[in-house]
Structure 1
Amino acid sequence: MIGLPSLKSYGTSRKAIAIALLASTFLVLPPRFSFAADEGQVSVIAVPAERKPISKAMEFVGRIDAPEKVVIRARVKGVLEGVLFREGDTVQTGAPLYRIEKSLFDADVQQAEGTLERTQAELALATIQRQRAEELLKRNAGTAVAFDQAVAQEAQAKAATVSAAASLDTAKINLGYTDITAPITGRIGMTAVSKGNLVGPETGELTSIVSQDPMYVTFPVSQRDITAAQKAGKTSDPKSIKLRIRFSDGTLYDQIGQISFLDVSVDRSTDTLIVRGNIANPGRSLVDGQLVKVELEAGAPEERVVVPQSALIADQQGVYVFIVEDGKAAVRRLKTEGNSGANSVVSSGLEGGELVITDGFQSLRPGVAVRPSPAPALNTGG
């Protein structure tokens, strides 16, 4: 008779069976890829430190000004019959902008024409009477008093004719003012009045026009900076110094300007000189009144190491970056000398070619293994 296994031996058997099944499962499953090499690596974005020709430049804050600005006002009083432009458009010289009701001004012209014709007729009669009085005086049939009176009447008629002609000219000029046209070519602003309103000289500004290309950029410069720029550029003529414009977002304007004017006196309160430059604006990127950064080129470009500004880290000891060295993060202390667009110019600390970490360094420590990836390409559209 075969006896039943004890409870202890039964439990041991179940454990052995489970271990055997687990072992067989690992033998059946396909092998997994080992990630032992990636354990502890930190993913980062890195770009090479580049060597580029960089021009030494002095930077100032400037403002864009349109060379031509015109405020449009009504020169005669009347009801506005039409606004003949679209706000924000570019208008050409002579383009119609506003039209004022003409009927009263037409009537003034006709009245002045009638007055002129009457005075011309009176002048013709006065001339005939003066000639007749002169003939009678020569034949001793008339008196000197009558001749003098005829001469005076002719002179009065001439004066009245001149006055009437001037009144006619004035009436025609006022009639012409009912058509308000653009005095310059440029971009037109918002209209302050609409059709049906009564306008006149007391109404004030109706709209304004500013020229678009080229544009001025004005900025204050100390006399010391002007002298330094002249020495660096090896020129005694400040107007030969080139300038570039950088927008508030750091992007560089694609046109190069030139200094065109230096003020005749220094501001005593700031010890600065107002400088003005001319710069082309073919794409209408520059807007009147816009605040920009102005960079004056000072000397020939020199090769410098540049790194993205996003890679710079500051602490109490100064500025540093993380670089990838033998697959690990390493620290390089830097000295910088200004910016060039989105990059910082490095004077010492890097030689160029080092892989500089620009993103993902927030939790890095020197010696930590890293897995660098290149920066994603910018989508420029198109």
Structure 2
Amino acid sequence: MTKVVFRNAALILALLAAPLLSACEDPQPQPAATPAPPPAVSVVRAEAQDLRPSVSFSGRVEALNKVDLRARIEGFLDQQVFTEGADVKTGDLLFVIEKGPYEASVAAAKAAVAIAQARFDRTELELNRQTTLVKKEAAAQTKLDDAQAARDEAKGALDKAQADLTQAQLQLSYTEIRAPIDGRIGKSILSVGSYVSPSSGTLATIVSQNPIGVTFPVSQREVLAVREQKGPEANLSSLTVYLDLGKNKRYAEAGTVNFVDVTVNTGTDAVNVRAVFPNPKGLLVDGQLVTAVVEADQAQPTIVIPVQALQLDQQGAYVLSVDADKKIVVKRVTPGTQVKNGVAIDAGLSAGDLVVVEGVQKVRPGQAVEATEISPEG
């Protein structure tokens, strides 16, 4: 029994001593961790370009002349003598209203004039005859007075008949609806065979095409910006205006301001301005949304960077730049107008600064990076 207890105690002591012996042995050296490489970013060198400072306005194309064609008389629409969407000239025949009833009215009026003329001629002869007899004291004065009254009455009837004829001819002329201006005609609202009258509304609309206007609101702040570009003595009526049609496409013709409204919109604190543009090819269409641009006369060196380099946060616009130590720094900038695929920077950058265009999300200020310079087009 004593031997069994001794053996168990020896076994327990051996088990307790094993961890202590392991702890006393020298630890094996661990391999050193390899530092992560700096993140790679693509950068573009900010460059100065000769640009003309500009101020942009949102505007709409507005036809200088616009006419809604309406019927002046009643009748069935007999003909439509034009192609919808085509250009028309002043005086071109567009619609014809049924002529028959109005031609009959003219014929009746002419007959009435002939009858009135014959009566007038007869009373005129009688008046001359009675005048001669009275001078010879061969007839009483009352006969002459009666002849004079009959002649005057016949003259009044003739004048009325001639006025009725003129009115009938005018009504007949209204059966032909002609273009009052040069321009482009739109869709015909009513079809041939429809009954029309002055209350039928618009039959079709003609809008002038060349020249054409563009109207845009200019706020007081923008007026000051224009004067900064053009000089303190500049006024809106002396401006040359350009049009951007979207996707960096500029309209080939320049325009000039020909109208500045005399009142300011109290809701927007802006005044409406209209510029007139040549439109020989009809590229500008009434109601079209465009951007009106007023540019400075002289070009100025301006920093331009790719659009994707520009970042925004609650404090405003900024770019991430790589300094001489290959570390990321934040530079607050004042963006200007967009230029093709880039944006002008009015303040905050210098020519030659490297700005990050790819890899912005994986870097932070002060972090070292591996920067690869690419071209702005790339």
Q: Which TM-score band (shorter chain)?
A: 0.7 to 0.9
**Displacement, 1:76?**
1.3
Q: Is residue 367 from structure 1 mapped to residue 364 from structure 2 by the alignment?
A: no
Q: Is residue 174 from structure 1 mapped to residue 158 from structure 2 by the alignment?
A: no
Task: Find the structure with the greater CA-based Rg.
Answer: 2
Q: Which residue of 2 aligns with 1:309?
A: 307
| 8 A Cα contact 2:44 2:373, kept in partner | no
| 8 A Cα contact 2:55 2:225, kept in partner | no
Q: Which residue of 2 aligns with 1:198?
A: 195
Question: Distance between the aligned counterparts of 1:321 and 1:271, measured in 2?
Answer: 34
| 8 A Cα contact 1:320 1:331, kept in partner | no
- Unmatched tracts of structure 2, length 5 or more: 1-36
Instruction: Say how many residue pairs are matched.
Output: 335
Give the counterpart letter for 1:265 in structure 2: T
**Displacement, 1:301?**
2.8
Question: Distance between the aligned counterparts of 1:285 and 1:84, measured in 2?
Answer: 25
**Displacement, 1:127?**
0.3
Q: Which residue of 2 aligns with 1:125?
A: 122
**Displacement, 1:337?**
3.4
| 8 A Cα contact 2:45 2:373, kept in partner | no
| 8 A Cα contact 1:322 1:361, kept in partner | no
Q: Is residue 351 from structure 1 mapped to residue 350 from structure 2 by the alignment?
A: yes
Q: Which residue of 2 aligns with 1:155?
A: 152
**Displacement, 1:202?**
1.1
Give the counterpart letter for 2:113 in structure 1: L
Moved more, 126-135 or 94-103: 94-103
**Displacement, 1:150?**
0.9
| 8 A Cα contact 2:217 2:273, kept in partner | yes
Out of 183, 186, 189, the position equivalent to 1:189 is 186
| 8 A Cα contact 2:264 2:271, kept in partner | yes
Out of 42, 50, 55, the position equivalent to 2:52 is 55
**Displacement, 1:364?**
4.7
**Displacement, 1:131?**
0.5
Identity of aligned residues (%): 36
Moved more, 302-311 or 229-238: 229-238
Q: Is residue 283 from structure 1 mapped to residue 281 from structure 2 by the alignment?
A: yes
TM-score by length of 1: 0.76
Out of 227, 250, 253, the position equivalent to 1:252 is 250
For residues 335-358 of structure 1, the C-alpha deviation after alignment (integer angstroms, 9 at most, x for no partner) is: 133213443111344434667665
| 8 A Cα contact 1:137 1:143, kept in partner | yes
**Displacement, 1:61?**
2.7
RMSD: 3.1
Q: Which residue of 1 aligns with 2:139?
A: 142
| 8 A Cα contact 2:109 2:168, kept in partner | yes
Give the counterpart letter for 2:168 in structure 1: A
Change (3 A) 1:163 1:292: same
**Displacement, 1:267?**
3.7
Give the counterpart letter for 1:99 in structure 2: V
For residues 286-313 of structure 1, the C-alpha deviation after alignment (integer angstroms, 9 at most, x for no partner) is: 2212233333335633110112323322
**Displacement, 1:49?**
4.0
TM-score by length of 2: 0.77
| 8 A Cα contact 2:41 2:359, kept in partner | no
Q: Which residue of 1 aligns with 2:4?
A: none
Question: Distance between the aligned counterparts of 2:186 and 2:355, measured in 1?
Answer: 48
For residues 151-199 of structure 1, the C-alpha deviation after alignment (integer angstroms, 9 at most, x for no partner) is: 1111121222222122212212221211111111111111110111111
| 8 A Cα contact 1:43 1:373, kept in partner | no
| 8 A Cα contact 1:61 1:219, kept in partner | yes
Question: Distance between the aligned counterparts of 2:57 and 2:318, measured in 1?
Answer: 27
Q: Which residue of 2 aligns with 1:379?
A: none
**Structure 1 runs of 4+ with >6 Å offset:** 39-44, 323-326
Question: Distance between the aligned counterparts of 1:294 and 1:309, measured in 2?
Answer: 22
Question: Distance between the aligned counterparts of 1:72 and 1:179, measured in 2?
Answer: 11
| 8 A Cα contact 1:318 1:333, kept in partner | no
Question: Distance between the aligned counterparts of 2:376 and 2:293, measured in 1?
Answer: 31
**Displacement, 1:224?**
5.5
Moved more, 190-199 or 240-249: 240-249
1:1-382 matches, cutoff 5 A = 49-223=46-220, 225-226=222-223, 229-230=226-227, 232-234=229-231, 235-247=233-245, 251-298=249-296, 300-316=298-314, 318-321=316-319, 333-342=331-340, 343-352=342-351, 358=357, 360-361=358-359, 364-365=362-363, 367-368=369-370, 370=372, 372=374, 375=377
Question: Distance between the aligned counterparts of 1:253 and 1:306, measured in 2?
Answer: 23
**Displacement, 1:205?**
0.5
**Displacement, 1:253?**
3.0
Instruction: Indicate the SS of the match to 1:113.
Output: helix
Moved more, 155-164 or 114-123: 155-164
| 8 A Cα contact 1:90 1:187, kept in partner | yes
Give the counterpart letter for 1:119 in structure 2: A
Instruction: Indicate the SS of the match to 1:123.
Output: helix
- Unmatched tracts of structure 1, length 5 or more: 1-38, 377-382
Change (3 A) 1:157 1:48: farther
